């Protein structure tokens, strides 16, 4: 079963600001310099296209797949397979600034599991209640923090 990520206004504003800063950094030299060398132009435009493409890929290609034996989380090129038996705790979070964040909303869930590089992964499924119901079915031994979910 596939769940897509919830995208909130803050995340869109934050990414838009980052994209604007990237665009300014890459395109201001075109307005400052009288004559821009072709190679420099190609490098600046290429840098903008690659970075902007990567940012958009990370923003719009976020999904969480509830599989029979594991949870598969994906955000752009970042993919993580979490075995259900490794999940120890699930709790709500609004922290978007630390840890492994494969989310696009401050209304998120933090999943703690044993083999985690950063101790946990933060996700923001659009259908949070339904996602939690599916997760509880597959990991009844994990501690699920009560509301607010």
What confidence tens digit (pLDDT) does each residue in 130-141 have?
A: 999 999 999 988
- Would the CA dihedral through 74, 100, 132, 139 be positive or negative? positive
Torsion angle of alpha carbons 65, 125, 88, 78, nearest 10°?
60
Which residues on neighbouring strands pair with residue 21, listed in sequence order?
Answer: none
| CA angle (57, 11, 1) in 5-degree steps | 60
Q: Which residues contact 125 (CB under 8 A, 6 or more apart)?
A: 3, 4, 5, 6, 64, 109, 131
Q: Is the pTM of this model over 0.85?
A: no
pLDDT band for 148, please (50, 70, 90 cuts): low
What confidence tens digit (pLDDT) does each residue in 42-88 have?
A: 999 999 999 999 999 988 899 999 999 999 999 989 899 999 999 99
């Amino acid at each position: 079963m596939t769940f897509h990520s919830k995208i909130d206004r803050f995340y869109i504003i934050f990414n838009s600001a980052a994209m604007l800063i990237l665009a300014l950094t890459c395109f201001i030299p075109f307005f400052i310099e009288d004559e821009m060398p072709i190679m420099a132009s190609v490098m600046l435009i290429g840098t903008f296209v690659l970075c902007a493409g990567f940012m958009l890929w990370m923003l719009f290609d976020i999904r969480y797949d509830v599989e029979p034996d594991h949870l598969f989380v994906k955000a752009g090129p970042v993919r993580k397979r979490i075995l259900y038996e490794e999940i120890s705790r699930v709790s709500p979070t609004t922290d978007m600034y630390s840890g492994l964040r494969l989310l696009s909303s401050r209304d998120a869930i933090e999943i703690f599991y044993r083999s985690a590089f950063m101790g946990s992964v933060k996700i923001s499924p659009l259908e949070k209640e339904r996602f939690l119901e599916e997760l509880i079915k597959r990991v009844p031994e994990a501690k699920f923090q009560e509301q607010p979910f």
